[in-house]
């Protein structure tokens, strides 16, 4: 069905969810909390638990944030699925971006429901400055968000006719 073409991108959502949960499982089985392994200068694997949002936002908010994100995530997921159902067949870029965000949200949602926190382990640093630890889900959300911005700013959907042989101007000329 043409209307639901973008759902073909849900494989990407599932892939992100599986990769996220697999990597978190492997790290939690291999590391103690706060244990760290330097992969190379500027990148460690360090097991941390994040009770906040992406990149430790609201980490120290007192506990209410767990329930807030558990309630918010299905609402956002529903909005993304409705948005995807309304995309046109030429909007693969946007569909992929939404699938990435949805997969990342699902990965972190799973952690919050099961553990009460999100498992983070990617520690990027420069000298003594460390970016807040993150995970595969956070990475997917970030890449998806960047793709959404690129789509909104640089991809002109008024040029739909280019692919069908029509002239590409906004006025159809």
- Catalytic one among 20, 111, 120, 123? 120
CA 77 to chain centre: 11
CA 98 to chain centre: 8
DSSP assignments along 83-122, one per residue: HHHT--TT-HHHHHHHHHHHHHHHHHHHHHHHHSSEEEEE
d(CA 155, CA 149): 9
Does the annotation mark 138 as catalytic? Answer: yes
- Catalytic one among 20, 111, 123, 138? 138
Which residues are catalytically annotated?
120, 138
């Amino acid at each position: 069905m043409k209307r639901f073409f973008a759902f073909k991108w849900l494989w990407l959502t599932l892939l992100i969810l599986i990769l996220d949960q697999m990597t978190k499982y492997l790290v939690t089985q291999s590391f103690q909390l706060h244990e760290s392994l330097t992969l190379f200068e500027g990148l460690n694997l360090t097991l941390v638990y994040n009770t906040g949002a992406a990149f430790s936002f609201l980490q120290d908010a007192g506990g209410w944030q767990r329930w807030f994100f558990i309630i918010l995530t299905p609402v956002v997921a529903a909005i993304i699925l409705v948005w995807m159902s309304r995309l046109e067949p030429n909007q693969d870029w946007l569909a992929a971006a939404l699938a990435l965000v949805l997969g990342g949200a699902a990965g972190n949602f799973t952690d919050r429901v099961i553990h009460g926190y999100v498992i983070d382990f990617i520690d990027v640093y420069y000298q003594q400055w460390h970016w807040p630890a993150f995970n595969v889900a956070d990475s997917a959300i970030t890449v998806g968000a960047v793709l959404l911005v690129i789509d909104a700013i640089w991809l002109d959907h008024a040029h739909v006719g280019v692919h069908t042989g029509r002239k590409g101007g906004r006025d159809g000329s």
